[in-house]
Chain A
């Protein structure tokens, strides 16, 4: 029997929440944008009226104002969005325990088992759509299908405030003619490469020879082929299960450009501590540390290294990150943003191989120190204990990556 998979997407999430709280703005072009002074001055979301002016997510606020001088730009209030995100998930969880969030505003739901309680896919989706509209005052569009990929295509197909079903009867008619880039994992680069092979629609991918795609795209060729045909059998994960986490990372755009190794060290220290704390919070450790750097010409790169022992220790993460940075950056330009990520994760309950030098005892001590810092910060705030480097570079480390952690859309493969 086919699964019943729903993908629910809050329409213009941040903008919708803001419009709910500002009824006087509902018929005006509205966008939620970052703080220009902190150099986060880009459009995060816009409502449908602003969309008509051609305003795009990610463009600079000044560009948006050129297109639409009357645009109302509201600073983001992530606390409010988190609250609404949580409330949407609570509603989803009334219908099934299999709720897999995808960023703040999207989620997959597997309603196969609750079919007899709430009805089939269409019926359940309608119930969810109506409930969210009534109780939260925002709208969602929901896609219903037998796999996650088609369900996601469905939630994009008709919006706002709509339900679309792609079933075995209609998918060839409705899914196949869509442009290839609508599909998850066909981005700008893949779109171009597909176009060179004269593959332009999802149907083209589906009908292409598997081995032909494999030849051109490697293993992604198989994946694209199976996605396009609706063969994807990836399960919707149970809510709050850690099975999904593949890496933990933080990055930020700095309040001002960095010019020295010392400043970078301070920023990396802050990031490493936040990543370490989050690893420990989830009971995980990882053995690959990567660092991402973007200079003020917006050129960016990411480098990674494998550690001998997997870790959740702040200092080890920091050491690896700083080494990577020193090795790979030649300071042609000042730095605008930095990120640290730990991947190749394992549960930290896994057994470790001890050596005769007692290295693991020292490491255990460091871990306990980090844990004590975590509990102090949980009780008294992130700035209760800080590094000396943070005090010296107060203007660049004024951010708290852990608590200000902005949630970006996540990757599909976890």
Chain B
């Protein structure tokens, strides 16, 4: 399955040590999703769509999703839309 890279508008919290915690983001369809919990943060390459940075494993409405922070842009790896096959 081909993956797609979607840059998102992120609202995040910066603590006094400089750590960044994502709170919620606006997806390309305009819907704002709240991140219920950040399960893990690690440095990782985004092999499916290309990139390398911090990978946040997030729980969103009982789904686990990877959200990447590369330099100062956030993106999500998602599936290709049906019509693109």
Contacts and interface: CB of A to CB of B under 8 A. Distances in A.
A304 B47 CA distance: 49
Nearest to A90: B43
Contacts of A136: 45, 52
Interface string A236-251: 0000000000000000
A137 B46 CA distance: 7
A370 B3 CA distance: 52
Interface stretch (A16-24, A259-267, A277-285, A322-330): A16-24
B18 to A, nearest CB: 16
Given A20-B52, A84-B52, A87-B52, A137 B47 contact: yes
Interface in B51-85: 51-52, 71
B49 interface: yes
B48 interface: yes
A116 interface: no
A135 B49 contact: no
B30 interface: no
A21 B50 contact: yes
B12 interface: no
A135 B71 CA distance: 14
A137 B52 contact: yes
Interface residues of B, number: 13
B51 A134 contact: no
Contacts of A23: 3, 47-50
B48 A135 contact: no
A321 B70 CA distance: 43
Interface in B13-31: none
B6 interface: no
Contacts of A135: 42-45, 52
A22 B44 CA distance: 17
A356 B61 CA distance: 81
B42 to A, nearest CB: 8
Closest 6 CB pairs of A and B: A137-B45, A21-B50, A135-B43, A136-B52, A137-B52, A23-B50
A83 B52 CA distance: 10
Interface of A: 20-23, 83-84, 87, 133-138
A352 to B, nearest CB: 43
Contacts of B48: 23
Nearest to A136: B52
Contacts of A20: 45, 47, 50-52
A355 B62 CA distance: 79
Nearest to B45: A137
28 contacts: A20-B47, A20-B51, A20-B52, A21-B50, A21-B51, A22-B50, A23-B3, A23-B47, A23-B48, A23-B49, A23-B50, A84-B52, A87-B52, A133-B45, A134-B45, A135-B42, A135-B43, A135-B44, A135-B45, A135-B52, A136-B45, A136-B52, A137-B45, A137-B46, A137-B47, A137-B50, A137-B51, A138-B45
Nearest to B3: A23
B44 A134 contact: yes
Given A23-B49, A138-B45, 16 more contacts: A20-B47, A20-B52, A21-B50, A21-B51, A22-B50, A23-B47, A23-B48, A23-B50, A87-B52, A133-B45, A134-B45, A135-B44, A136-B45, A136-B52, A137-B47, A137-B50
Most buried by B among A23, A87, A133, A134: A23
A389 to B, nearest CB: 37
A83 B51 CA distance: 12
Nearest to B44: A135
Contacts of B44: 134-135
Nearest to A25: B50
Contacts of B50: 20-23, 137
Contacts of B46: 137
A139 B3 CA distance: 22
Contacts of B52: 20, 84, 87, 135-137
B77 to A, nearest CB: 11
A112 B32 CA distance: 52
Contacts of B71: 83
A84 B43 CA distance: 13
A242 to B, nearest CB: 29
